[in-house]
Amino acid sequence: MITRIGNFISWAFLPLFIPVMALALTMYIPSEEKNISHPSLYQLDGDFKHQIIFLFLVFGTLAPGVSFLLMYRRKLISTIEMDDRSERVVPLLIVFSYCSILFLLFSLKAPEGVLPIYIYAIPFAGAILSLIFLFINYWTKISLHAAGGGLMSGYLCAFSAQQLNFNYFLILLSFLISGFIMSARLALNKHTPFQVYLGWVIAFIVTFYCNFYYPFNLF
């Protein structure tokens, strides 16, 4: 029973799903930016929201997901979850590539902060995390599922800090989801507690920083 629940949670909250889920929560639940010069996610046109979600789905979920399935069918990875640490190098590079493409796409098509900063910052954070985890992977099998929970929590905390009105239940929800994810990975014996907590903490810090401080006066 515990194994079934753990597997369900692991598949329901795959890391590739998390950015789209987090973005959708802040797009469709009312909020109001403190800085009125910043475009608001919630106040974007409905059709425009759909287009952005579609791009995140394509580059953040479907493209890397299909790439992993092809790698599995060609026996380049032994399992879809990439249980073998040595098999994670190419998939992490794939995620880095697609996050970079998505970031550059928005930066080139809508430069100088035309869109809400989070649309640029989320893929930027994803690209940075992919590189960080790529290097950590040579040392230990960090939990990418836990990192997904950390990404969601870090993003929502950074987002809420820049809003006049915000439903803070979303932050509680993100921490609950993170807890379920980490408990599931531990129950399935996929990771040690250290690997799980490390993944969550790094993803939280990087995502919070990227979304709270973007554009770092560099772009």
- Exposed/middle/buried for 21, CB within 10 Å: 0-12, 13-18, 19+? middle
Query: Quick one: which of 160, 156, 105, 146 has its CA closest to 127?
Result: 105
Given a cut of 50, whether residue 113 has pLDDT beyond it is: yes
Given a cut of 70, whether residue 201 has pLDDT beyond it is: yes
Beta bridge partners of 32: 165
Query: Quick one: which of 149, 123, 150, 131 has its CA closest to 208?
Result: 150
Q: Tell me, what's the pLDDT at 49?
A: 93
Q: Tell me, what's the pLDDT at 216?
A: 62
Distance separating the N- and C-terminal Cα atoms of the chain: 50
- pLDDT tens per residue, range 123-178: 999 999 999 999 999 899 999 999 999 999 999 999 999 998 899 999 999 999 99
- pLDDT tens per residue, range 175-194: 999 999 999 999 988 889 99
Average pLDDT of the chain is 91
Given a cut of 60, whether residue 54 has pLDDT beyond it is: yes
Tokens of 22: 């987090």
Q: What pTM did the predictor assign?
A: 0.92
- Exposed/middle/buried for 154, CB within 10 Å: 0-12, 13-18, 19+? buried
User: Domain-by-domain residue ranges, the chain?
Assistant: 2-9+17-23+42-213
